[in-house]
A and B are shown apart, each in its own frame.
Chain A
Amino acid sequence: MDQSSRKIRVLVAKPGLDGHDRGAKVIARALRDAGMEVIYTGLRQTPEMIAAAALQEDVDAVGVSILSGAHNTLCPRIVSLLRDQGMKDTLVVLGGIVPQEDIPKLKQLGVAEIFLPGTSTQDIAKFIRENVKPRE
């Protein structure tokens, strides 16, 4: 298989103590149906575990699902751990319940996009496809 037809690889991650995984699981399946390879971490992964899984699975994008309000603590840490281990271009997106006023800060810290409730899974797939960095 040549590099250009390599499927986009996405890690769907669920950090924090929250167990509401409906969204994470629906997104994982929708991205798979959209032709991507998806790895779901399962519940209650620490930022360290998520970064390690991203490296091991050699993913192009990490989709983080947080509904509990812990995004300001968890997301920046995931981004910085990814960057520290050399994953400079890995796209990080966040989905969940995030107040408007937190969005600029999260974007500044390296979260490429924040998807709020009501976003269609097709829009999320499109964003990932258009924004992952092509592999050489």
Chain B
Amino acid sequence: MHEIKEGSSEQLAPDQWEEQNLKPARPRGERKTSFQTVSLEEVKRLYSSSDIADIDIENDLAFPGQFPYTRGIHATGYRGKLWTMRQFAGFGTPEETNRRFRYLLNQGQTGLSVAYDLPALMGYDADSQLSEGEVGKCGVAVSSLADMEALFSGIPLESVTVSQTINAPASVFLAMYLVVAEKQGADWKKISGTLQNDILKEYIAQKEWIYPIRSAMKLVVDTLEFCTKHVPRYNPISVSGYHIREAGATALQELAFTLRDAIEYVEWGLRAGLDIEEFVPRISFFFNAHNDFFEEIAKYRAARRIWARVMRDRFGAQNERTMQLRFHTQTAGVSLTVQQPLNNIARVAIQALAGVLGGTQSLHTDAYDEALALPTDSAALIALRTQQIIAEETGVANTVDPLGGSYFVEALTSKMEQGALDYFERIDAMGSMVDAVEQGFPQREVQESAYQYQKALERGDQAIVGVNKYAMEDEPQQVSTLVIDESVRQHQLERLERTRTKREIGEVDRTLDKLRQAARQGDNTMPATIEAVRAYATLGEICSALRDVYGIYEEPAI
């Protein structure tokens, strides 16, 4: 029997303890020679007090609700209010998506999030030749105010908050949203919601662009300025790392490029004469929740700390709200597998848990069938229930930042912060984020990571259950998927035709001319866009008018 000496191990420094206790085990070996996160970052065998020796608890962690908000922006965490359960949905016709929205609200979902189809994302109408085969496929089809009226029919925009995933034509969708709200009798001063409107990440990752970068940035500033004055509770930008990650970035690159994009928007806003304490509190963030549990949690905690310090030290912000980073999280679509698709339910649950332990303000959980198609009703319901199980059954929402103080999590959080600051330095040296994107810097970084990850997968250094491990010849899990047929296009073409006949064409031409003029003179384009929307000018017509002035973006070879 061993004699247990009380306190003997505490007297050793952590590295000495490891030397004495773990060295002898090594000859027998560990499972692998190197352990890495999904971002291919090395993870040590053990983390202990020496790994957080540099952390100043008071200044680096503080308490929840205190600068630099590493432990969360609210003193009471989720004890006060749970995160918003906001499932991204959109497919087929506006009527079909409207039915899905009402279904989700009836099942206890607390906010809406609209997915638009590719023609909408690119600013084309359903009847454009370029839209062929794409109408209603990846999201809901919207070509004009008439479609938006059908989409939000019976959904009161003064009380339900709606997030819209739309970027290059975001100002047009904001205008359509505001006009629908106005027709419902809602007060613009009271409505809330979020516009993604993060154009920089389009050039970096998602690639749904229309205009050249600097003109597109001007449109973003127009929406910022307009909302600050007229729709004060609305969030006009959701700075998004989600797509950067999906395109292949590491967790660190997602963090660094997203926050640097946000810095760019703040700088453009300030140059337009906006007050930092007025517009920055309405900028929100959107991150991915990928497979590597602790790396993700560290990413969210680091994001809050970096943002608080950037706002205070780089921009001289003074108000708490200006320094507090609020974010939405979505589980990683790219991690879902076609093989054994029900396994995705487990992946999504664990990823969602990381988002919650990282202190997210709102969450989308992917449906298990999304590597195959857009989700069916039943798959969408399981995804929502997964969040409800985390909230109601696991107990993780009972205390604030339960992982605060973990040697591993705090060490990772600090490493993430330092890595992001190093990226900021490199980008600042290029001039600005717009310059860096024009030079293809973040694009190249992301592409390189995507390729390295693929190689790691094919070497077997990274495992995907059901794909390169535990794969099965005969697929045991058959699931039925949602099919969007071409009747959607027919339905949309008919409404578009009716809209074009019913409206007064003189008014359409007049408002589009006014919009061109505003764009040419460098005036805020929002008032003219709203007028054009009210006249039922279509999305394609409005974007064409702006293309006439701004031109189009051509991607350089990268």
Contacts and interface: CB of A to CB of B under 8 A. Distances in A.
Contacts of B246: 20, 22
A96 to B, nearest CB: 11
B124 interface: yes
Contacts of B247: 20-22
Interface in A90-136: 97, 99, 116-118, 120-122
Given A17-B119, A68-B137, A73-B133, A116 B450 contact: no
25 contacts: A16-B118, A17-B122, A17-B134, A18-B118, A20-B247, A22-B247, A22-B248, A25-B447, A26-B248, A26-B451, A30-B451, A68-B118, A69-B134, A69-B138, A69-B373, A70-B133, A72-B133, A73-B132, A74-B133, A97-B338, A97-B373, A99-B373, A99-B483, A117-B337, A118-B339
B388 interface: no
Nearest to A29: B451
Contact of B207 (A21, A68, A118): A21
Task: Determine chain B's interface SS by DSSP, over half rule.
Answer: loop
A42 interface: yes
A43 interface: yes
A35 interface: no
Interface in B446-477: 447, 450-451, 454, 457-458, 464, 467-468
Contacts of A70: 132-134, 137
B525 to A, nearest CB: 24
Question: Interface residue tally of chain B, by bracket?
Answer: 35 or more
B130 interface: yes
Task: Determine chain A's interface SS by DSSP, over half rule.
Answer: loop
A20 B371 CA distance: 14
Contacts of A68: 118, 134, 137-138
Contact of A120 (B207, B371, B458, B481): B458
B131 interface: yes
A97 B134 CA distance: 14
B132 to A, nearest CB: 6
A97 B339 contact: no
A26 B450 contact: yes
Interface of A: 16-22, 25-26, 29-30, 42-44, 46, 68-70, 72-74, 97, 99, 116-118, 120-122
A97 B371 contact: yes
Nearest to B374: A69
Contact of A42 (B337, B371, B555): B555
A121 B118 CA distance: 27
A97 B371 CA distance: 7
Contacts of A42: 555, 557
A42 B119 CA distance: 18
Contact of A117 (B137, B209, B371, B555): B371
Given A17-B122, A19-B202, 7 more contacts: A25-B447, A26-B451, A69-B134, A69-B137, A70-B137, A120-B458, A120-B468
A117 B338 CA distance: 7
A25 B447 CA distance: 8
B333 to A, nearest CB: 10
Interface in B186-221: 202, 206-209
A35 B306 CA distance: 44
Given A22-B247, A69-B138, A99-B372, A17 B451 contact: no
B207 A16 contact: no
A30 B373 CA distance: 26
Contacts of A120: 457-458, 468
A33 to B, nearest CB: 9
B118 to A, nearest CB: 4
B555 A97 contact: no
A17 B450 contact: no
Given A16-B118, A97-B372, A118-B467, A25 B450 contact: yes
Interface string B111-139: 00000001101101000001111100110
Contacts of B372: 97, 99
Contacts of A17: 118-119, 121-122, 124, 130-131, 134, 208
Nearest to A17: B118
B276 interface: no
B403 interface: no
